């Protein structure tokens, strides 16, 4: 219910003259398979998946594209003309495009990167950073086993760090990414002391409701450059639309302002 996608994507439909709508559907985890199987008979072109469905959907769709398979999470499902389901992941694309839009000179290999969280969003972020050359990735997660599992996923060296050591993990980092749901509307703020983080480090949050999470506000106050998570949502919609309707919308200032106005 926090999602801005229904408003954003319904607006895009109007802009592109499509007769359609984008609806939020609250699906319990145990109902994900029948819900996805219901898309074709109900006439849906596809759907996006959000917390906590991204990993579970891998075992449900008929075909998974290589990027989603590698990431281990699906963010977008396409209903093909024969009614079968194709799963892909646009979060990695959205994450990188958002950073580059705000920081055109950004490089993933500028120094150590700390990722907080090890869920579906974290997997996409870790994969995209590894793909773009990050060579020292520290994964901090409340459940250490999940951080360890993620750290072994890709060919890039990644270190799993216990939750109790999260504050010290920020030493010397060039980038900090929150991928947990902490800081989101209705959740407690991320419990992370930024003292050890260099003030030059780029801080970004994939949570976008609120637009400025407590983490981003704290980082901004101490002088760190920050990028909010809204652009990730906007940019991931582009390949999703291409897959559903053959149209690739632009992420314009007007589009961002439209969503921003809802916060
Ligand atoms: N901007 C965008 O386009 C975009 C894209 C994707 C996701 N997101 C947002 O990112 C967030 C995470 O989504 P997801 O799909 O990755 O979810 P997920 O797979 O369920 O993962 C949730 C993560 O948050 C951690 N967590 C939950 N409660 C916590 C707590 N009390 N203390 C510390 N860590 C906690 C979990 O740790 P454990 O492993 O210990 O449970 C896990 O690492 C959501 O807010 C989602 O809306 C935004």
Give residue for tokens 């579970």. Answer: 56
Residue 191 and residue 167 in contact, taking contact as beta carbons nearer than 8 Å? no
From the CA of 149, how far away is ligand 1's center (Å)?
16
Residue 13 and residue 20 in contact, taking contact as beta carbons nearer than 8 Å? yes
Ligand 1 pocket, Cβ-based, cut-off 6 angstroms: 50-52, 54, 91, 94, 117-122, 141-143, 146, 179-182, 184, 206-208, 229, 232-233, 236
Q: Long-range pairs for 258-262 at CB < 8 Å and ≥24 separation? A: 258/7, 258/8, 258/11, 259/4, 259/7, 259/8, 259/230, 259/233, 259/234, 260/211, 260/230, 262/4, 262/7
**What pLDDT does residue 102 have?**
94
- What is d(CA 110, CA 259) in angstroms, rounded to the nearest whole number? 31
Residue nearest to atom 15 of ligand 1 (CA): 51
**What pLDDT does residue 132 have?**
95
Give residue for tokens 């991320």. Answer: 190
The tens-digit pLDDT sequence of the chain (263 residues) is 778 899 999 999 999 999 999 999 999 999 999 999 999 999 999 999 998 999 999 999 999 999 999 999 999 999 999 999 999 999 999 999 999 999 999 999 999 999 999 998 999 999 999 999 999 999 999 999 999 999 998 888 899 999 999 999 999 999 999 999 999 999 999 999 999 999 999 999 999 999 999 999 999 999 999 999 999 999 999 999 999 999 999 999 999 999 999 88
Concerning whether 242 is annotated as a catalytic residue, the answer is no
Residue nearest to atom 2 of ligand 1 (CA): 233
**What pLDDT does residue 51 have?**
87
**Ligand 1 atom closest to residue 123's alpha carbon, by position in its atom list:** 16
Residue nearest to atom 3 of ligand 1 (CA): 233
- What is d(CA 40, CA 85) in angstroms, rounded to the nearest whole number? 8
CA distances from 244 to 10, 58, 166, 179 (A): 14, 19, 40, 27
**What pLDDT does residue 74 have?**
95
Mutational test site, ligand 1, from 29, 58, 127, 180, max ligand atoms within 8 Å of CB:
180
**What pLDDT does residue 262 have?**
85
- What is d(CA 214, CA 226) in angstroms, rounded to the nearest whole number? 12
Closest CA to 55 of 3, 1, 122, 116: 122
């Amino acid at each position: 219910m926090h999602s801005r996608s229904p408003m954003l994507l319904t607006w895009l439909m109007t802009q592109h003259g499509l007769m359609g709508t984008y609806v939020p559907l609250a699906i319990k985890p145990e109902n994900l398979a029948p819900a996805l199987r219901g898309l074709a008979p109900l006439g849906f072109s596809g759907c996006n998946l959000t917390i906590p469905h991204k990993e579970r959907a891998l075992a449900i769709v008929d075909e998974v594209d290589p990027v989603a398979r590698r990431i281990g999470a699906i963010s977008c499902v396409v209903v093909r003309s024969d009614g079968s389901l194709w799963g892909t992941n646009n979060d990695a694309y959205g994450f990188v495009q958002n950073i580059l839009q705000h920081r055109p000179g950004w490089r993933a290999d500028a120094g150590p990167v700390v990722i907080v969280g090890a869920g579906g969003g974290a997997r996409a972020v870790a994969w995209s950073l590894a793909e773009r050359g990050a060579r020292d990735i520290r994964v901090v997660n409340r459940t250490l086993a999940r951080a360890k599992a993620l750290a072994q996923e890709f060919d890039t060296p990644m270190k799993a760090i216990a939750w109790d050591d999260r504050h010290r993990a920020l030493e010397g980092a060039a980038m900090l990414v929150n991928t947990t749901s902490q800081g989101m509307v209705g959740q407690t703020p991320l419990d992370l002391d930024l003292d050890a983080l260099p003030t030059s480090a780029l801080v970004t949050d994939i949570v976008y409701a609120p637009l400025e999470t407590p983490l981003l506000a704290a980082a901004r106050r101490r002088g760190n450059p920050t990028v909010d998570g809204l652009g990730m949502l906007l940019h991931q919609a582009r390949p999703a639309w291409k897959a559903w309707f053959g149209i690739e919308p632009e992420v314009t200032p007007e589009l961002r302002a439209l969503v921003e106005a809802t916060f």
